[in-house]
Amino acid sequence: MSRRTGHLTDALHAYLLRWGVDEPAPVRALREDTHRLSQDGWQSSPEQAQFMALLAGAIGARRFLEIGTFTGYCTLRMALALPEDGRVVACDITDEFVEKAGRRHWRESGMEDRIDLRIGPAAATLERLLANPGPGSFDMAFIDADKEDYPVYFSLCAQLVRPNGLVLIDNTFWGGRVADPDDARKSTAAIREVTRMAFERDDFEVAMVPIGDGLLMARRLR
């Protein structure tokens, strides 16, 4: 997660927010409440949430899968981007931060019924989703949880999205650490590994977008 795209000047970032982000009022209110928490750096940037919402509209997404929910900022932005019969399945290990900042905004915006929050280890939740509703049942998946399990999450999400669906992987720059050959931390190694996995699969095509802390887009081809 990253609250803003880091390589921009303050002036250019302000310009981006003014002309490149159309943030619905409930989403902005949730973001502002999240900023009151000491962990607010975990939140995705508004420009990234806007980009993801635009992608959802472009591919006609109706079912969105989120791995890593935090306060539910992107959750709400994506719920609002989907059609009336759309649904977000949000996975997290705890609902602590949703209860602190997010759920009230889900409810007041009328989106709470479109969000299915599933609490528990994400890999187990994804395995259950593979059993029911089954492979190819989601249009988009967004991975933004514990970094060391990114390869596992991608392997499962690659099965859960439909052909022409998208898997989005956050923090693929990891603050620049992925390009440091001396960085051998497990989290860094896992991000490098998931990037390699997505790049080398012949049933996906990828693009890495320098937004937030790096967003890898992988489109399922078949």
- With tokens 């052909």, the residue in question is 163
Cis, bond preceding 133 (omega within 30 deg of 0): yes
Q: What is the rounded average pLDDT of the residues 37-66?
A: 94
Q: What is the rounded average pLDDT of the residues 86-90?
A: 98
CA distance 148 to 156: 15
Residue-level pLDDT at 3: 62
Residue-level pLDDT at 4: 62
Q: What is the rounded average pLDDT of the residues 89-106?
A: 97
Cα separation values, 46 from 33, 43, 82, 183, Å: 14, 9, 17, 29
Cα separation values, 107 from 15, 32, 113, 136, Å: 31, 17, 8, 29
Does residue 43 carry a pLDDT above 90? Answer: no
Sign of CA dihedral 116, 164, 208, 149: positive
User: Judging by DSSP bridges, how do beta strands 138-143 and 63-67 pair with one another?
Assistant: parallel
Does residue 193 carry a pLDDT above 70? Answer: yes
Does residue 1 carry a pLDDT above 70? Answer: no
User: Average pLDDT over the chain, rounded to whole?
Assistant: 95
CA distance 133 to 34: 32
The band of 6, judged by pLDDT with boundaries at 50, 70 and 90, is low
pLDDT in tens, 108-158: 999 999 999 999 999 999 999 999 999 999 999 999 999 999 999 999 999
